[in-house]
Amino acid sequence: MVSVRKTIMRKTSVLFAAVLLTAVAGLAKEPGASSTLPLSLIPQPVSVQVLPGAFRLQRGTAILVSPGVPEARQVGVYLASVVAAPTGFQLKVAEAAKGSSRRGAVVLSLTGGPHGSANPEGYDLEVTRRGVHIQAPSAAGLFYGVQTLLQLFPPEIESKTRHEASWTLPCVKIVDYPRFAWRGLMLDVSRQFFSKEFLKQYIDQMAKYKMNVFHMHLTDDQGWRVEIKSRPQLTKVGAWRVPRLGRLWERDPPREGEVATEGGFYTQDDIREVIAYAQERFITVVPEIEVPGHALAALAAYPELSCTGGPFRVNPGSKFYGEEDNALCPGNEKTFEFMDQVFSEVAALFPSPYVHIGGDECFKGFWKKCPKCQRRMVEEHLKDENELQSYLIRRVEKILAAKNKRLIGWDEILEGGLAPNASVMSWRGVRGGIAAAKMNHQVVMTPADYTYLDLYQGDPSLEPTAYSRLLVSTCYRFEPVPEGLDPKYILGGQGPLWTEFVTNPRAAEYMTWPRAFALSEVLWSPRESRNWDDFTQRMETHFQRLDAAQVNYSRAVYDVAMTPVRDSAGKLALRLSTEVNGCDIYYTFDGTNPDNFMTKYQGEPVEVPGDAYVVKAIAYRSGRPSGRILSLEVKELTERLGVEKK
């Protein structure tokens, strides 16, 4: 998603500080929130009871699984492999023979617990001095019980190297199950190609937080990333673009004769490998093949599928939307032959019951001038180009249905009429999701204001290039079921990470965490248990876990936000805040870098001296710097105030 998405989403940057203050104020004392849990678990379980004592994992601890159940053994092997590196223990996985002693063991029972068994992904976890027992109605439930078990260990359990530690677990009783069935993250691998090794690392982190859908955005204007054997030009041509740096949408277009060397693609064997890896972690990989818009990479390979005939080049980040044809021609029957071939191979490759077809931001200007499209509209009695897109989507749905797949697309597929059995992923707010649910269609909520992970996490002066903003606290306020809507139509939610500005794996991690912590809790835990202050305390422990795992993440929740206001005399003043409560803020007006020996902010707006040219501020927590120094010129703060008033 590029142009219209950004036009809709681009909020005036000066409003950030005010939004931050509102978010913090609204979440700090949320009515009905539960008391602080004694354990740092994310997502928060349904029920936790802490008991006296502890259990110590030792070299001889056995992992016992239900006899004759390969799925339970798979989870046991996974647990043994995860703890091997940090502990140095090579734990044996064995079937629990009838009458055998379970003392001192970790027992995984695929029998269904007394509480969590109502939900197929639920589990019951009990840790006593004698051992550990996880029971669940499915292997997925056992797996999620294991993830909670691992979070009971010290953060060093995430390390890839051995640590000398006391691997003890507190005695607890936990009953847990998810609120939603679809708990997803999306990674845009079209605009930035990521290796399959990184995809596995990303899947590993998702699994730790009980996410169960990995949505791969495989095709777009900037690259085609999946091998289609019947259409080899898609990866021979469509997977490669000319190398470019510089600001996105301001880059030079491809020059005549310039060789396309940047990109890559996944072979079908690569895809199978990633799918198998995800399946072992109970994650479904959902493919997205963009139609009819965002198809420039496909048209570069097969220009005859366009309205204008080309020639086309894969886009390197230069301006093109609305100026260059990037949509498949729905008036051309060859388009449907192409889609049938592509979706045949995609359906055979991906076990997911859903195939995502995009459907967003299709520029229809070239359809208006295309004789084939106009003839199709007359023949099919279509009143406008929106209905022409709906005609195409309905035919795609039939193509997928013939392959036992269900169609899901962005909420633009509602325009012109929704295909009979389509599901909707609502990104332009929740209105599209509400409309689809009222028509009895299933919905995955991905409203950009609450879930888009490619947005700034703090003040733009401190953050990597992005646009608009999405705070962790805003993610945490996300509610997938709008008031008055029947929840049975809401499958769940998802955090999309578009990669126009995300150019490497470390950047992808930085943009994902900790906002995905918040989304995981929104999608798993009971709504009534949400409490921002409690969540941030647990989040801090999980920063230590990410450090141990060498996963990059943002600490923008500790950075200062400056909100410009006018005082009673009409002079410029500032409110200072941090997203996390409990920080002390220090500031300067003389251009020097502040520390905790400088002036401390006391909670009321502070007047900016008339001759000051810059304001600098930093947050401290427990006597140590917790965030980065924010430095903003008074001129910019005045401009922000002016825009905010408008």
Residue-level pLDDT at 38: 62
Q: Do 162 and 190 reside in the same domain of the chain?
A: no
Helix (H) or strand (E) holding 143: helix 139-152
Residue that is written with structure tokens 């200072």 in the block = 576
Residue-level pLDDT at 111: 83
Show Cβ contacts of residue 99 under 8 Å, excluding neighbours closer than 6 positions.
Answer: none
294 is known as an active-site residue: yes
**Are 591 and 614 in contact, with CB atoms under 8 Å apart?**
yes
Task: Flag whether pLDDT at 358 surpasses 50.
Answer: yes
The fraction of the chain above a pLDDT of 70, given in percent, is 92
Amino acid identity of residue 375, one-letter, is R
What CATH number is associated with residue 633? 2.60.40
Domain count, the chain: 3
* Mean pLDDT score, 506-531: 98
Residue-level pLDDT at 612: 96
Q: Do 282 and 395 reside in the same domain of the chain?
A: yes
Bridge-based pairing state of the strands 614-621 and 630-633? antiparallel
The residue segments making up the domain with residue 606 are 559-645
Residue-level pLDDT at 24: 41
Residue-level pLDDT at 99: 55
What Cα–Cα distance (Å) separates residue 48 from each residue in 35, 40, 170, 334? Answer: 12, 11, 12, 58
Residue-level pLDDT at 498: 98
Q: Does residue 619 fall inside a structural domain?
A: yes
Q: Do 100 and 186 reside in the same domain of the chain?
A: no
Q: Does residue 288 fall inside a structural domain?
A: yes
pLDDT in tens, 39-54: 999 999 999 999 999 9
* Mean pLDDT score, 333-342: 98
Q: Does residue 432 fall inside a structural domain?
A: yes
Q: Does residue 202 fall inside a structural domain?
A: yes
Residue-level pLDDT at 112: 57
User: Could you count the other beta carbons within 10 Å of the beta carbon of residue 530?
Assistant: 21
* Mean pLDDT score, 545-553: 98
Helix (H) or strand (E) holding 184: strand 182-188
pLDDT band at 161 (very low <50, low <70, confident <90, very high): very high
Task: Flag whether pLDDT at 14 surpasses 50.
Answer: no
pLDDT in tens, 463-492: 999 999 999 999 999 999 999 999 999 999
The verdict on whether omega for the bond into residue 292 sits within 30 degrees of 0, i.e. cis, is yes
Q: Do 496 and 391 reside in the same domain of the chain?
A: yes
What Cα–Cα distance (Å) separates residue 190 from each residue in 10, 227, 238, 262? Answer: 22, 13, 10, 12
Nearest-angstrom CA–CA distance, 402 and 531:
46
pLDDT band at 643 (very low <50, low <70, confident <90, very high): low
Burial of 28 (0-12, 13-18, 19+ CB in 10 A): middle
User: Could you count the other beta carbons within 10 Å of the beta carbon of residue 610?
Assistant: 8
- What letters, b where the CB count within 10 A reaches 16 and e where it falls short, cover 563-600? bbeeeeeeebbbbbbbbbeebebbbbbeeeebeeebee
* Mean pLDDT score, 311-329: 95
Lowest mean pLDDT across 11-20, 272-281, 326-335: 11-20
639 is known as an active-site residue: no
Residue-level pLDDT at 642: 75
* Mean pLDDT score, 567-586: 95
Contacts for 87-90 with beta carbons within 8 Å, 24 or more apart?
A: 87/57, 87/157, 87/162, 87/163, 87/165, 87/167, 88/59, 88/162, 89/57, 89/58, 89/59, 89/61, 89/167, 90/59
Q: Do 52 and 150 reside in the same domain of the chain?
A: yes
Task: Flag whether pLDDT at 25 surpasses 50.
Answer: no
459 is known as an active-site residue: no
The fraction of the chain above a pLDDT of 90, given in percent, is 87
Q: Do 574 and 484 reside in the same domain of the chain?
A: no
Q: What is the CA radius of gyration of the chain?
A: 26
What Cα–Cα distance (Å) separates residue 536 from each residue in 37, 64, 591? Answer: 12, 35, 32
Q: Do 169 and 184 reside in the same domain of the chain?
A: no
**Active site residue: 115, 133, 217, 294, which one?**
294
Q: Do 162 and 184 reside in the same domain of the chain?
A: no
Q: Does residue 30 fall inside a structural domain?
A: no
Burial of 637 (0-12, 13-18, 19+ CB in 10 A): buried
Q: Does residue 25 fall inside a structural domain?
A: no
- The residue among 119, 152, 176 that closes a domain is 176
Nearest-angstrom CA–CA distance, 375 and 391:
13
Residue-level pLDDT at 342: 98
pLDDT in tens, 125-139: 999 999 999 999 999
What CATH number is associated with residue 433? 3.20.20.80
HSE toward the beta carbon, residue 135, CA cutoff 13 A: 12
Residue-level pLDDT at 74: 96
What CATH number is associated with residue 99? 3.30.379.10
pLDDT in tens, 422-434: 999 999 999 999 9
Q: Do 10 and 92 reside in the same domain of the chain?
A: no
* Mean pLDDT score, 576-598: 97
**Active site residue: 220, 221, 288, 509, which one?**
220
Amino acid identity of residue 83, one-letter, is V
pLDDT band at 98 (very low <50, low <70, confident <90, very high): low
pLDDT in tens, 223-267: 999 999 999 999 999 999 999 998 889 999 999 999 999 999 999
pLDDT band at 16 (very low <50, low <70, confident <90, very high): very low
Nearest-angstrom CA–CA distance, 66 and 76:
10
Q: Do 389 and 267 reside in the same domain of the chain?
A: yes
Q: Does residue 527 fall inside a structural domain?
A: yes
Show Cβ contacts of residue 632 under 8 Å, excluding neighbours closer than 6 positions.
Answer: 459, 461, 562, 614, 615
- The residue among 155, 176, 197 that closes a domain is 176
| pTM score | 0.93
Q: Do 264 and 186 reside in the same domain of the chain?
A: yes
**Active site residue: 188, 221, 290, 361, which one?**
361
607: β partners:
573
Residue that is written with structure tokens 């950009």 in the block = 448
**Among candidates 363, 367, 294, which has minimal Cα distance to 322?**
363
Phi, psi of 513 (to 5 degrees): -110, 135
497: β partners:
187
Task: Flag whether pLDDT at 271 surpasses 50.
Answer: yes
- The residue among 485, 516, 549 that closes a domain is 549
Q: Do 319 and 407 reside in the same domain of the chain?
A: yes
pLDDT in tens, 403-418: 999 999 999 999 989 8
Residue-level pLDDT at 122: 96
Mean pLDDT of the chain: 92
Residue-level pLDDT at 101: 64
Nearest-angstrom CA–CA distance, 174 and 134:
9
pLDDT in tens, 377-390: 999 999 999 999 99
pLDDT band at 28 (very low <50, low <70, confident <90, very high): very low
* Mean pLDDT score, 181-202: 98
Phi, psi of 400 (to 5 degrees): -70, -40
Q: Does residue 116 fall inside a structural domain?
A: yes
User: Could you count the other beta carbons within 10 Å of the beta carbon of residue 226?
Assistant: 26
**Are 43 and 521 in contact, with CB atoms under 8 Å apart?**
yes
pLDDT in tens, 292-304: 999 999 999 999 9
SS3 content of the chain, % helix, strand, coil (to 5): 35, 20, 45
User: Could you count the other beta carbons within 10 Å of the beta carbon of residue 551?
Assistant: 20
